[in-house]
Chain A
Amino acid sequence: MRTFARKFRVMLVAHYALALTYRAEVFIWALSGTLPLILAGVWIEAGKSGGRPLEPEDYARYFFCTFIVRQLTLVWVVWEFESDVVQGRLSSKLLMPIDPMCRYLAQHLSERVARIPVLGLLGGLFFVLYWEQMRGWRPGLSDLGWAALAIVGTFALRFTVQYTFGLLAFWTERAHSVEQLWYLPYLYLSGLIAPLEEFPKLLQQIVLFTPFPYLIYFPSRVMMGGDLVHFSLAQGFAVMLGWTVVVFILQRILWRLGLKHYSAMGA
C-alpha cells in the first residue's frame, strides 16, 4: 500500500507537469465551461417576471454552483483510453506493475490543479456579471462540506461510467460514440440546463432514480444551500453510491473480458 501511494504521488506530479506544458489548452478547456454563465443570464431574466419556483437570485447561485461542479468533475478518459487501445499504446501501459486506470486517474486529478486559476477567473466573471444576484450569497459551512463530499462522489461516478465506456474500445473502434449517446440525457436531465425544480413533477421523481442528477444537480443544489425539497442528503448520497458501485463491478468484469480480447494492434 505504501509503495502504491508513492507511485501514485509520482504520477500525480508528473501529470501535473504535463498539464502545465499545455497551459493554453487547459485555459481553453476551462473556457468551454461557459454554458452556466449564459444559462444563468437567461434564467435570471425569466425569473424576474415572477411565477417561477425559484427567485432570480437562486438561479444565479445555482448556475454558479453547476459551473464549479462541472469544472471540478470534468472527465475525458473515454477518448484517452480509446486512442490508447486503437493506437496500441495501451500495451506498454499494461507492462507496468500498476493498473492503467491509476494513470488516467492521476492525469485527471492533476489537471484539476492546473485548472484552478481559470476557475477563479471565470468564477469571478460570474460575480461581475451577476453581482446584483450573487452578492447576498452566504453559503453555510456545512453545506460547503457536504457539497465537497458530493463533488468527490460525482467525480467518482462520472469517471467510473466513462472508463467503463472506454473499455468498449476493446471491441469497437469508436467507443466514444457511446459516451456521446450518454451525453444527451446527461445534458438535459442532469440539471445542467435548469434546476430540477423547473421540471414537471412526475419527471422530477423519475429522474432522481437515474444517475444523471447526481452528476450536476445534487452537488450544486447542496452547495447552493437552502432547503432541499425533493430529497434528503442521505437519499442523494445513497443513490449516487449505489450507481457507482454497480457500474464499477460491471467495469471490472468488462476489463477482464476485454484484456483477453485485446490484440495489441499497432504497437
Chain B
Amino acid sequence: MIKHLRILGLFWSTSLAAEMEYRTNLALAIITALGNLVGAVFAMKLFFIHQKTLGGYSEPEAMVVLGYFVLLSGFANTVMVQNLSRIVTHVREGTLDFVLLKPIDSQFWLSTRNCSPWGIPNIVLGLGLIAYAGWQLKFDAIAYLTGVIALAAGLLMLYSLWFSLGALSIWFVKVQNITHVLYQLLEGGRFPFTAHPTFNRFFFTFVIPAAFLTTFPAQVMIGRNDFQQYLGASNIGLYLIVVAMAVAMFIFARYFWRFTLRHYTSASS
C-alpha cells in the first residue's frame, strides 16, 4: 500500500512536470473552467426565469446538484480522461505488453499513470458552487460530512464505470471516443434527477448512475429523499445501497479487466 502511494506520488509529479511545459494551457484551463461555470449556472438559471422550481428543487438546491456535476467533471478531467485514452493507444500499438510485464498491478498502473492539472480549476469551482449554495441554504456540518461520503461513493462509481469502458478497448481497439459518450450521458447529472421524465429517471438510476453521482449527494445534504418511490428505501437504507453499489461496481471493473485481458492478443511483433 505504502509502495503504491509512493509510486502514485512519482507518477503524478512526473506527469505534472510534463504538463507544465504547456504553461499557457494553465491560463487557458482556468478561463475554460470559469467560462464553463458561468455557462452552466446560466443554463440552470434559464429554467428559473419563468418558474420557481425545477423538478421540485429550488434554485439554490439545483445549484448544489450542479456543483457536484462540475466537481465530478473536474475529477474526470484530472485523473480519468487522459489515462483511459492512453489505454486505447497501448492496445492499438501493442505497448500494453510492457505495462503487463511491469511488477505492479496493471489496473493500478493504467488508471494512475497520468494526471492532468487542467481539471483542478473545475474541482475548485465545483466546491465553491456547493459551498455558496450551501451557505444560502444554511447547511450544517453533518450535511457536509454526509455529502462528502456520498461524493466518495460517487467518485468510486464513476471511476469503475470509466475503467470498465476503457477495458472494452481490448476488443474494440479504437474506442477513445467512449469517454465522450459517457460524458454526454452523464450530462443528465447536471439536473436534479426529478427534473427528468419518468423513463429517463429510470435510465439515469439503473443504466448510467448519473442520479447517484450528483442528485444523491445533493439530496442527502438538503435532507430530502427523491429515490424513495423508486427504491423504496429510507435515507439511511439508501445510503447503504449506494455505498454497496459503488463497491460492487469497483469489484466488477476489476474482474472485467482481468477477463478482457485474457482476450488480449498484442499488436505488432
Q: What is the interface of chain A, defined by CB distance below 8 A to chain B?
A: 22, 24-25, 28-29, 31-35, 38, 41-42, 44-46, 49, 51-53, 129, 173-174, 177, 180-181, 184-185, 187-188, 193-194, 198-200
Q: Which chain A residues border B49 with CB–CB below 8 Å?
A: 198, 200
Chain B residue numbers with a CB within 8 Å of A194 are 43, 46
Nearest A residue to B183 by beta-carbon distance?
A32
Tell whether, in the assembled complex, residue B195 and residue A45 are in contact, meaning their CB atoms are under 8 Å apart. yes
What is the CA–CA distance of A174 and B25 in the complex, to the nearest angstrom? 9
Q: Is the CB of A187 within 8 A of B39?
A: yes
Give the chain A neighbours of B174 by CB distance below 8 A: 22, 24-25
Q: B32 on the interface (CB 8 Å rule)? A: yes
What is the CB-to-nearest-CB distance from A51 to chain B, in angstroms, rounded to a whole number? Answer: 5
- B135 at interface by CB-CB < 8 Å: no
* B residues lining the A interface (CB < 8 Å): 22, 25, 28, 31-32, 35-36, 39, 42-43, 46-47, 49-51, 54-55, 172, 174-175, 177-178, 180-181, 183-185, 187-188, 191, 195-197, 199-200
Q: Which of A42, A129, A199 has the most CB of B within 10 A?
A: A42
Min C-beta distance of A43 to chain B, whole Å: 8
Residues on the B chain within 8 Å of A188, using CB? 39, 42-43
Residues of A within 8 A of B39 (CB): 184-185, 187-188
Complex Cα spacing A234 to B39, Å: 30
Q: A41-B197, A188-B43 are in contact. Are A34 and B185 (CB under 8 A)?
A: yes
CA distance A52 to B31 in the complex (A): 33
A42–B198 Cα distance when bound, in Å, is: 10
Q: Is the CB of B28 within 8 A of A181?
A: yes
User: 9 closest pairs, A vs B, by CB?
Assistant: A188-B39, A184-B35, A32-B180, A41-B197, A41-B200, A32-B181, A32-B184, A38-B188, A193-B43
State the CA gap A26–B39 with chains docked (Å): 29
Closest CB of chain B to A112's CB: distance in Å?
17
State the CA gap A256–B36 with chains docked (Å).
34
List A contacts of B184 (CB < 8 A): 31-35
Could you list 26 A-B pairs, sorted by A, with CB under 8 Å?
A: A22-B174, A29-B177, A29-B180, A31-B184, A32-B177, A32-B181, A34-B185, A41-B199, A42-B195, A42-B196, A45-B195, A45-B196, A45-B197, A46-B54, A49-B51, A51-B50, A129-B197, A177-B25, A177-B28, A180-B28, A181-B31, A181-B32, A181-B35, A184-B35, A187-B39, A199-B46
Q: Find the B residue at minimum CB distance from A51.
A: B50
A198 touches B46 (CB 8 A): yes
Q: How far is the CA of A173 from the CA of B174 in the complex (A)?
A: 23
